Homo-oligomer: A and B are copies of this chain.
Amino acid sequence: MVVVMKERVSDSEVEAVIAHLVEMGMDVHRSTGASRIVLGVVGGGTVDPRLIELMAGVHEVLRITQPYKLASRTFKPDDTIITIGDVRIGGDEVIVIAGPCSAESEAQVHATAAAVKRAGAKILRGGAFKPRSSPYSFQGLGEEGLQLLRGGANAHDLKLVTEVMDASQIEVIGKYTDIYQVGARNMQNFTLLRELGHTRKPILLKRGIAATMEEWLLSAEYILSGGNTDVILCERGIRTFETFTRNTLDLSAIPIVKELSHLPIFVDPSHGMGRRDKVAPMARAAVAAGADGLIIEVHNDPDHALSDGAQSMFPSQFDRLMAELRIIAPAIGRSICLEPVARRGWAR
Protein backbone atom coordinates (compact mmCIF):
# COMPACT_ATOMS: atom_id res chain seq x y z
CA MET A 1 0.00 0.00 0.00
CA VAL A 2 1.24 3.48 -0.84
CA VAL A 3 -0.20 6.46 1.02
CA VAL A 4 0.07 9.71 -0.90
CA MET A 5 -0.19 12.75 1.38
CA LYS A 6 -1.73 16.06 0.28
CA GLU A 7 0.63 18.75 -0.99
CA ARG A 8 0.04 21.01 2.00
CA VAL A 9 0.26 18.62 4.91
CA SER A 10 1.39 19.24 8.47
CA ASP A 11 3.98 17.16 10.31
CA SER A 12 1.42 16.11 12.87
CA GLU A 13 -0.90 14.78 10.14
CA VAL A 14 1.90 12.69 8.68
CA GLU A 15 2.84 11.43 12.14
CA ALA A 16 -0.76 10.47 12.89
CA VAL A 17 -1.02 8.40 9.73
CA ILE A 18 2.27 6.65 10.42
CA ALA A 19 1.29 5.96 14.03
CA HIS A 20 -2.01 4.44 12.95
CA LEU A 21 -0.35 2.20 10.37
CA VAL A 22 2.28 1.01 12.85
CA GLU A 23 -0.47 0.31 15.39
CA MET A 24 -2.14 -1.92 12.77
CA GLY A 25 1.06 -3.95 12.40
CA MET A 26 2.58 -2.35 9.31
CA ASP A 27 6.07 -1.08 8.48
CA VAL A 28 6.19 2.39 6.94
CA HIS A 29 8.86 3.93 4.67
CA ARG A 30 8.62 7.70 4.36
CA SER A 31 9.73 9.39 1.11
CA THR A 32 9.80 13.17 0.86
CA GLY A 33 9.60 14.58 -2.67
CA ALA A 34 9.61 18.13 -3.98
CA SER A 35 5.88 18.59 -3.62
CA ARG A 36 4.58 15.58 -1.71
CA ILE A 37 5.30 13.04 0.99
CA VAL A 38 4.64 9.43 0.04
CA LEU A 39 4.50 6.56 2.54
CA GLY A 40 5.36 3.04 1.43
CA VAL A 41 3.48 0.57 3.64
CA VAL A 42 4.38 -3.10 3.95
CA GLY A 43 4.06 -5.83 6.53
CA GLY A 44 1.81 -8.51 7.87
CA GLY A 45 -1.05 -6.45 9.32
CA THR A 46 -4.30 -5.68 7.57
CA VAL A 47 -5.54 -2.17 6.95
CA ASP A 48 -8.67 -0.93 5.18
CA PRO A 49 -7.28 1.60 2.66
CA ARG A 50 -10.51 3.61 2.81
CA LEU A 51 -9.99 4.22 6.53
CA ILE A 52 -6.59 5.72 5.81
CA GLU A 53 -8.08 7.85 3.05
CA LEU A 54 -10.41 9.41 5.60
CA MET A 55 -7.50 10.62 7.77
CA ALA A 56 -6.51 14.29 7.71
CA GLY A 57 -3.79 15.14 5.21
CA VAL A 58 -4.19 12.01 3.08
CA HIS A 59 -4.65 12.59 -0.64
CA GLU A 60 -5.01 9.02 -1.84
CA VAL A 61 -4.19 5.43 -0.95
CA LEU A 62 -2.91 3.11 -3.67
CA ARG A 63 -3.01 -0.66 -3.31
CA ILE A 64 0.06 -2.46 -4.60
CA THR A 65 -0.74 -6.09 -4.06
CA GLN A 66 -3.28 -8.28 -5.76
CA PRO A 67 -5.88 -9.49 -3.28
CA TYR A 68 -5.83 -12.99 -4.78
CA LYS A 69 -2.87 -15.30 -4.41
CA LEU A 70 -3.42 -18.88 -5.55
CA ALA A 71 -5.03 -17.71 -8.79
CA SER A 72 -2.15 -15.42 -9.77
CA ARG A 73 0.75 -16.00 -12.15
CA THR A 74 3.03 -14.67 -9.44
CA PHE A 75 2.12 -17.69 -7.33
CA LYS A 76 2.21 -20.20 -10.19
CA PRO A 77 3.97 -19.03 -13.37
CA ASP A 78 3.10 -22.06 -15.51
CA ASP A 79 -0.25 -22.60 -17.19
CA THR A 80 -2.61 -24.90 -15.33
CA ILE A 81 -3.58 -27.94 -17.38
CA ILE A 82 -6.65 -29.87 -16.30
CA THR A 83 -6.96 -33.48 -17.35
CA ILE A 84 -10.28 -35.37 -17.50
CA GLY A 85 -9.61 -38.79 -18.95
CA ASP A 86 -8.15 -38.13 -22.39
CA VAL A 87 -9.23 -34.50 -22.50
CA ARG A 88 -6.54 -31.94 -21.65
CA ILE A 89 -7.85 -28.43 -20.92
CA GLY A 90 -5.37 -25.56 -21.11
CA GLY A 91 -2.88 -27.25 -23.45
CA ASP A 92 -2.25 -26.74 -27.16
CA GLU A 93 -5.60 -28.10 -28.20
CA VAL A 94 -8.59 -25.77 -28.16
CA ILE A 95 -11.36 -27.73 -26.42
CA VAL A 96 -14.96 -27.23 -27.55
CA ILE A 97 -17.90 -27.88 -25.24
CA ALA A 98 -21.29 -28.04 -26.98
CA GLY A 99 -24.84 -29.13 -26.34
CA PRO A 100 -28.31 -27.91 -25.56
CA CYS A 101 -29.30 -25.25 -23.05
CA SER A 102 -31.46 -27.78 -21.14
CA ALA A 103 -31.92 -31.51 -21.24
CA GLU A 104 -35.47 -32.00 -22.53
CA SER A 105 -35.76 -35.66 -23.62
CA GLU A 106 -33.62 -38.69 -24.35
CA ALA A 107 -34.06 -38.26 -28.09
CA GLN A 108 -33.02 -34.60 -27.94
CA VAL A 109 -29.96 -35.24 -25.81
CA HIS A 110 -28.78 -38.17 -27.92
CA ALA A 111 -29.32 -36.47 -31.26
CA THR A 112 -27.49 -33.36 -30.08
CA ALA A 113 -24.65 -35.31 -28.47
CA ALA A 114 -24.14 -37.31 -31.65
CA ALA A 115 -24.04 -34.15 -33.73
CA VAL A 116 -21.56 -32.26 -31.59
CA LYS A 117 -19.29 -35.29 -31.20
CA ARG A 118 -19.20 -35.75 -34.96
CA ALA A 119 -18.17 -32.12 -35.43
CA GLY A 120 -15.31 -32.39 -32.94
CA ALA A 121 -16.64 -31.33 -29.53
CA LYS A 122 -15.02 -33.12 -26.59
CA ILE A 123 -17.45 -32.23 -23.82
CA LEU A 124 -21.26 -32.17 -23.71
CA ARG A 125 -23.04 -29.26 -22.02
CA GLY A 126 -26.65 -29.24 -20.82
CA GLY A 127 -28.71 -28.01 -17.89
CA ALA A 128 -30.92 -29.95 -15.50
CA PHE A 129 -31.39 -27.18 -12.93
CA LYS A 130 -31.96 -23.86 -14.71
CA PRO A 131 -31.58 -20.39 -13.23
CA ARG A 132 -34.34 -18.33 -14.91
CA SER A 133 -34.90 -14.66 -14.30
CA SER A 134 -38.68 -15.20 -14.34
CA PRO A 135 -40.39 -17.60 -11.92
CA TYR A 136 -42.81 -18.44 -14.72
CA SER A 137 -40.20 -19.95 -17.12
CA PHE A 138 -39.17 -23.62 -17.59
CA GLN A 139 -36.94 -24.56 -14.63
CA GLY A 140 -35.34 -27.79 -15.90
CA LEU A 141 -35.94 -31.52 -15.42
CA GLY A 142 -33.84 -31.93 -12.26
CA GLU A 143 -32.20 -35.31 -11.61
CA GLU A 144 -33.99 -36.88 -14.57
CA GLY A 145 -32.19 -34.34 -16.73
CA LEU A 146 -28.86 -35.35 -15.19
CA GLN A 147 -29.52 -38.99 -16.10
CA LEU A 148 -30.33 -38.06 -19.69
CA LEU A 149 -27.18 -35.97 -20.00
CA ARG A 150 -24.91 -38.64 -18.53
CA GLY A 151 -26.46 -41.20 -20.83
CA GLY A 152 -25.93 -38.99 -23.87
CA ALA A 153 -22.34 -38.23 -22.94
CA ASN A 154 -21.50 -41.89 -22.35
CA ALA A 155 -23.13 -43.04 -25.57
CA HIS A 156 -20.98 -40.65 -27.59
CA ASP A 157 -17.75 -40.73 -25.60
CA LEU A 158 -18.05 -37.16 -24.37
CA LYS A 159 -17.26 -35.64 -20.99
CA LEU A 160 -20.10 -33.72 -19.30
CA VAL A 161 -20.48 -30.26 -17.77
CA THR A 162 -23.70 -29.09 -16.08
CA GLU A 163 -24.65 -26.18 -13.86
CA VAL A 164 -24.93 -26.27 -10.08
CA MET A 165 -27.08 -23.47 -8.67
CA ASP A 166 -26.89 -24.12 -4.96
CA ALA A 167 -24.68 -25.90 -2.44
CA SER A 168 -27.52 -28.33 -1.74
CA GLN A 169 -27.29 -29.64 -5.34
CA ILE A 170 -23.57 -30.48 -5.26
CA GLU A 171 -24.02 -34.06 -4.14
CA VAL A 172 -26.66 -35.16 -6.61
CA ILE A 173 -25.00 -33.42 -9.54
CA GLY A 174 -21.66 -34.93 -8.56
CA LYS A 175 -23.07 -38.38 -9.22
CA TYR A 176 -23.42 -37.54 -12.92
CA THR A 177 -21.15 -34.75 -14.07
CA ASP A 178 -17.45 -34.45 -14.89
CA ILE A 179 -17.31 -30.68 -14.47
CA TYR A 180 -19.48 -28.40 -12.31
CA GLN A 181 -20.51 -25.15 -13.97
CA VAL A 182 -21.07 -22.04 -11.84
CA GLY A 183 -23.30 -19.59 -13.67
CA ALA A 184 -22.71 -15.87 -14.00
CA ARG A 185 -25.39 -15.02 -11.42
CA ASN A 186 -23.69 -17.26 -8.87
CA MET A 187 -20.14 -15.98 -9.38
CA GLN A 188 -20.33 -14.39 -5.95
CA ASN A 189 -22.42 -17.04 -4.21
CA PHE A 190 -19.65 -17.57 -1.69
CA THR A 191 -21.36 -20.43 0.14
CA LEU A 192 -21.49 -22.37 -3.11
CA LEU A 193 -17.92 -21.51 -4.09
CA ARG A 194 -16.55 -22.59 -0.72
CA GLU A 195 -18.35 -25.95 -0.91
CA LEU A 196 -17.09 -26.52 -4.46
CA GLY A 197 -13.58 -25.94 -3.17
CA HIS A 198 -14.00 -29.13 -1.19
CA THR A 199 -14.99 -31.24 -4.19
CA ARG A 200 -12.42 -32.85 -6.48
CA LYS A 201 -13.98 -32.17 -9.86
CA PRO A 202 -13.10 -29.24 -12.15
CA ILE A 203 -15.22 -26.09 -11.92
CA LEU A 204 -16.16 -23.97 -14.94
CA LEU A 205 -16.59 -20.52 -13.37
CA LYS A 206 -18.46 -18.01 -15.48
CA ARG A 207 -17.75 -14.33 -15.10
CA GLY A 208 -20.58 -12.30 -13.57
CA ILE A 209 -22.10 -9.77 -15.93
CA ALA A 210 -20.81 -6.90 -13.81
CA ALA A 211 -17.70 -8.53 -12.43
CA THR A 212 -14.29 -7.01 -12.86
CA MET A 213 -11.53 -9.44 -13.73
CA GLU A 214 -10.16 -9.00 -10.22
CA GLU A 215 -13.46 -10.05 -8.62
CA TRP A 216 -13.63 -13.01 -10.97
CA LEU A 217 -10.18 -14.16 -9.91
CA LEU A 218 -11.15 -13.64 -6.26
CA SER A 219 -14.10 -15.95 -6.78
CA ALA A 220 -11.71 -18.52 -8.29
CA GLU A 221 -9.59 -17.99 -5.17
CA TYR A 222 -12.53 -19.15 -2.98
CA ILE A 223 -12.49 -22.48 -4.83
CA LEU A 224 -8.70 -22.80 -4.97
CA SER A 225 -8.31 -21.98 -1.29
CA GLY A 226 -10.58 -24.95 -0.49
CA GLY A 227 -8.08 -27.26 -2.11
CA ASN A 228 -9.62 -27.68 -5.56
CA THR A 229 -7.00 -26.51 -8.08
CA ASP A 230 -8.99 -27.21 -11.25
CA VAL A 231 -10.79 -23.98 -12.14
CA ILE A 232 -11.66 -23.03 -15.71
CA LEU A 233 -12.62 -19.38 -16.17
CA CYS A 234 -15.36 -18.61 -18.70
CA GLU A 235 -16.15 -15.18 -20.20
CA ARG A 236 -19.80 -14.83 -21.27
CA GLY A 237 -20.44 -11.14 -21.69
CA ILE A 238 -20.61 -8.11 -19.47
CA ARG A 239 -23.34 -5.57 -19.15
CA THR A 240 -22.82 -2.29 -20.96
CA PHE A 241 -25.02 0.49 -22.32
CA GLU A 242 -25.32 -1.21 -25.72
CA THR A 243 -28.76 -2.72 -26.28
CA PHE A 244 -28.48 -4.60 -29.56
CA THR A 245 -26.77 -7.48 -27.77
CA ARG A 246 -27.93 -9.00 -24.48
CA ASN A 247 -24.42 -8.47 -23.17
CA THR A 248 -21.11 -7.28 -24.61
CA LEU A 249 -18.77 -10.24 -24.98
CA ASP A 250 -15.46 -8.99 -23.55
CA LEU A 251 -12.83 -10.83 -25.57
CA SER A 252 -10.14 -8.55 -24.17
CA ALA A 253 -10.49 -10.66 -21.04
CA ILE A 254 -8.61 -13.42 -22.83
CA PRO A 255 -5.15 -11.80 -23.13
CA ILE A 256 -5.56 -10.01 -19.80
CA VAL A 257 -6.52 -13.08 -17.78
CA LYS A 258 -3.67 -14.98 -19.47
CA GLU A 259 -1.30 -12.36 -18.04
CA LEU A 260 -2.79 -12.22 -14.54
CA SER A 261 -3.48 -15.91 -13.97
CA HIS A 262 -2.36 -19.41 -14.83
CA LEU A 263 -5.91 -20.72 -15.12
CA PRO A 264 -7.40 -21.71 -18.50
CA ILE A 265 -10.00 -19.36 -20.02
CA PHE A 266 -13.01 -20.33 -22.13
CA VAL A 267 -15.56 -18.17 -23.93
CA ASP A 268 -19.34 -18.66 -24.21
CA PRO A 269 -20.43 -16.78 -27.34
CA SER A 270 -23.98 -18.17 -27.16
CA HIS A 271 -24.93 -16.32 -23.98
CA GLY A 272 -22.70 -13.43 -24.93
CA MET A 273 -24.59 -12.73 -28.16
CA GLY A 274 -28.05 -14.20 -27.52
CA ARG A 275 -28.81 -14.95 -31.17
CA ARG A 276 -27.49 -17.91 -33.11
CA ASP A 277 -26.64 -15.93 -36.23
CA LYS A 278 -24.10 -13.91 -34.22
CA VAL A 279 -22.41 -16.83 -32.44
CA ALA A 280 -19.99 -18.02 -35.14
CA PRO A 281 -18.15 -14.69 -35.66
CA MET A 282 -17.51 -14.34 -31.95
CA ALA A 283 -16.50 -18.00 -31.56
CA ARG A 284 -13.90 -17.53 -34.29
CA ALA A 285 -12.74 -14.29 -32.69
CA ALA A 286 -12.34 -15.98 -29.30
CA VAL A 287 -10.07 -18.66 -30.72
CA ALA A 288 -8.07 -16.07 -32.66
CA ALA A 289 -7.61 -14.08 -29.43
CA GLY A 290 -6.18 -17.12 -27.66
CA ALA A 291 -9.05 -18.72 -25.75
CA ASP A 292 -8.35 -22.21 -24.42
CA GLY A 293 -11.82 -23.37 -25.32
CA LEU A 294 -15.40 -22.54 -26.19
CA ILE A 295 -18.79 -23.49 -24.80
CA ILE A 296 -21.52 -23.32 -27.41
CA GLU A 297 -25.22 -24.05 -27.37
CA VAL A 298 -26.27 -26.52 -30.08
CA HIS A 299 -29.71 -28.14 -30.31
CA ASN A 300 -30.93 -30.79 -32.73
CA ASP A 301 -34.11 -28.74 -33.27
CA PRO A 302 -33.59 -25.22 -31.92
CA ASP A 303 -36.92 -23.90 -33.16
CA HIS A 304 -38.68 -26.15 -30.65
CA ALA A 305 -36.23 -25.88 -27.75
CA LEU A 306 -37.79 -25.33 -24.32
CA SER A 307 -35.21 -22.67 -23.48
CA ASP A 308 -32.73 -20.47 -25.34
CA GLY A 309 -33.60 -21.89 -28.76
CA ALA A 310 -32.81 -18.53 -30.34
CA GLN A 311 -29.18 -18.73 -29.33
CA SER A 312 -28.74 -22.45 -30.07
CA MET A 313 -27.02 -23.35 -33.32
CA PHE A 314 -28.29 -25.92 -35.78
CA PRO A 315 -25.90 -28.89 -36.06
CA SER A 316 -25.02 -27.86 -39.62
CA GLN A 317 -24.02 -24.35 -38.46
CA PHE A 318 -21.86 -25.89 -35.77
CA ASP A 319 -20.16 -28.15 -38.34
CA ARG A 320 -19.25 -25.16 -40.46
CA LEU A 321 -17.98 -23.23 -37.44
CA MET A 322 -15.72 -26.10 -36.39
CA ALA A 323 -14.25 -26.19 -39.88
CA GLU A 324 -13.49 -22.46 -39.71
CA LEU A 325 -11.91 -22.84 -36.29
CA ARG A 326 -9.59 -25.53 -37.61
CA ILE A 327 -8.16 -22.97 -40.02
CA ILE A 328 -7.79 -20.27 -37.38
CA ALA A 329 -6.25 -22.24 -34.51
CA PRO A 330 -2.90 -22.91 -36.23
CA ALA A 331 -2.37 -19.15 -36.67
CA ILE A 332 -1.54 -19.06 -32.99
CA GLY A 333 0.06 -22.46 -32.65
CA ARG A 334 -3.07 -24.29 -31.45
CA SER A 335 -5.05 -27.19 -32.84
CA ILE A 336 -8.62 -28.44 -32.77
CA CYS A 337 -8.71 -32.19 -32.99
CA LEU A 338 -10.74 -33.89 -35.63
CA GLU A 339 -12.60 -37.08 -34.81
CA PRO A 340 -12.05 -39.94 -37.26
CA VAL A 341 -15.64 -39.79 -38.47
CA ALA A 342 -15.50 -36.05 -38.88
CA ARG A 343 -12.22 -36.21 -40.68
CA ARG A 344 -13.88 -37.99 -43.50
CA GLY A 345 -16.65 -35.42 -43.68
CA TRP A 346 -14.31 -32.43 -43.64
CA ALA A 347 -11.55 -33.73 -45.89
CA ARG A 348 -10.07 -30.74 -47.66
Contact = CB atoms under 8 A, between A and B. Distances in A.
B238 A255 contact: no
Interface in A301-322: 302-303, 308-311
A40 B42 contact: no
A273 B324 CA distance: 26
A85 interface: no
A84 interface: no
A259 B53 CA distance: 13
A286 B222 CA distance: 34
A221 B135 contact: yes
A17 to B, nearest CB: 13
Q: Which of A33, A222, A277, A331 has the most CB of B within 10 A?
A: A331
A338 interface: no
Interface of A: 2, 4, 6-8, 27, 29, 31, 33-36, 38, 40, 42-43, 48, 50-51, 53-54, 59-60, 62, 64-65, 67-68, 74, 131-136, 165-168, 185-186, 188-192, 194, 208-210, 212-215, 218-219, 221-222, 225, 238-245, 248-252, 254-256, 259, 272-278, 281-282, 284-290, 302-303, 308-311, 324-325, 327-328, 330-332
